[in-house]
Structure 1
Amino acid sequence: MDATTKLTAVGNGALGCWLIAAPFVLGAPAVGRWNDVLVGAAVAAAAGYNYVEDGDRPASATTAGVVAVLGCWLVVAPFALGLAGPALWNDVVCGTLVASFGSYDAYVASAVGRAPAVRATAE
């Protein structure tokens, strides 16, 4: 796993921890609080799984893809759940970052072990 992939996994882990604490800091309503805590815990756990290397195991593309989907849910959730104010914008910004980092990790993990495309040229 390269340094950038590790950095994005650390970023998602930090964002997951922030999502667990944010509803209490920002005073989100109960439904937003539960959403942020559950999604934050899932993001932090998945990011931790992808950060830890187990021998030759590269980062999991499936796990990173799930993190990207959770990030997309965070962008949509405040509108679906009726949040407003700082809780809404916190979820939108964190969701955008989580989805971006997760998408990058999924792309890199799916490219590991794949042979580069070779184009034959006529001489």
Structure 2
Amino acid sequence: NNFMMVMELKDSSLRQYLNNNFISMNWEEKLYRLFCIASGLKDIHNQGLIHHDFHCGNILSTFHNACITDLGLCQPANAKSSQNNNKKIYGVLPYVAPEVLKGKEYTQASDIYGYGIIAY
């Protein structure tokens, strides 16, 4: 089964948006953006899923909100990895949780680590 998500066109990735606007954004705007991202990640986790590739390049942004994208590696949190898959590291290295780098399985906490890097 293949699924496709169709959504409205966004202006840029979060990375691009922040490169162009970070200095002009006030704290309220920055915190609201983090709230939108956290809310989206919470929705993914409430569906029992792990994103596996959570970084600012996979967040599309406009002036008013942010949308999490690239769910291609997304898997159910209760899915057990095979021995070979357990050793694979997916994602952008600075956003990958230390326990995953040490060979542990991805968890929802791994996604939250990526969120923490974004917030930092």
TM-score > 0.5 by shorter chain = no
After TM superposition, the score normalised by the length of structure 2 is 0.25
After TM superposition, the score normalised by the length of structure 1 is 0.25
Q: Which has the higher helix share?
A: 1
